[in-house]
Amino acid sequence: MSERAVYRTRFAPSPTGALHLGNARTFLLSWLRARSQGGEILMRMEDLDHPRVKIEKVEQVYADLRWLGLDWDGEIMVQSRRVEIYREIFKVLQQKGLVYPCFCSRADIQAAQSAPNLGDDLVYPNICRDNKSNIKAVAAERGCAWRFNLQDCRILKYYDNFLGWREADIRRTSGDFVVARTAASGLISVAYQLACVIDDHESAVTEVIRADDLVNSTFRQRMLYKALGYGFPEFLHVPLVIGNDGRRLAKRHGDSRISCLRARGQRPERLLGWLGQTCGLCAKGEEVELGELLSRFELGLIPKSRVTVTAADLEYLGF
Please give the residue ranges that form the binding site for ligand GLU (CB under 6 A): 12-14, 46, 196, 210, 214
DSSP 8-state symbol, 229: T
Q: At what angle do helices 192-202 and 215-228 cross, to 10 degrees?
A: 60
Instruction: Determine the Cα–Cα distance for residues 189 and 212; give it in Å rounded to an integer.
Output: 26
Q: Which CB atom, from 43 or from 102, has the smaller least distance to ligand GLU?
A: 43
Half-sphere exposure of 170 (CA within 13 A, CB side): 24
Q: How far is the CB of 143 from ligand GLU (least distance, A)?
A: 24
Instruction: Determine the Cα–Cα distance for residues 244 and 309; give it in Å rounded to an integer.
Output: 6
Q: How far is the CB of 191 from ligand GLU (least distance, A)?
A: 12
Instruction: Determine the Cα–Cα distance for residues 53 and 79; give it in Å rounded to an integer.
Output: 12
Q: How far is the CB of 15 from ligand GLU (least distance, A)?
A: 9
Closest by CA to 62, choosing from 200, 259, 319, 292, is 259
CB 147 within 8 A of CB 177: yes
- H/E element holding 233? none
Query: 88: helix, coil or strand?
Result: helix
Instruction: Determine the Cα–Cα distance for residues 104 and 177; give it in Å rounded to an integer.
Output: 12
Q: How far is the CB of 210 from ligand GLU (least distance, A)?
A: 4
Q: Which CB atom, from 70 or from 214, has the smaller least distance to ligand GLU?
A: 214
Q: How far is the CB of 211 from ligand GLU (least distance, A)?
A: 7
Backbone angles phi, psi at 307, to 5 degrees: -100, 120
Q: How far is the CB of 11 from ligand GLU (least distance, A)?
A: 8
Which residue has its beta carbon closest to ligand GLU? 210
Q: Which CB atom, from 131 or from 173, has the smaller least distance to ligand GLU?
A: 173
Closest by CA to 194, choosing from 209, 211, 215, 180, is 180
**Backbone dihedral region for residue 302 (phi beyond 0: left; psi -120 to 50: alpha; all else: beta):** beta
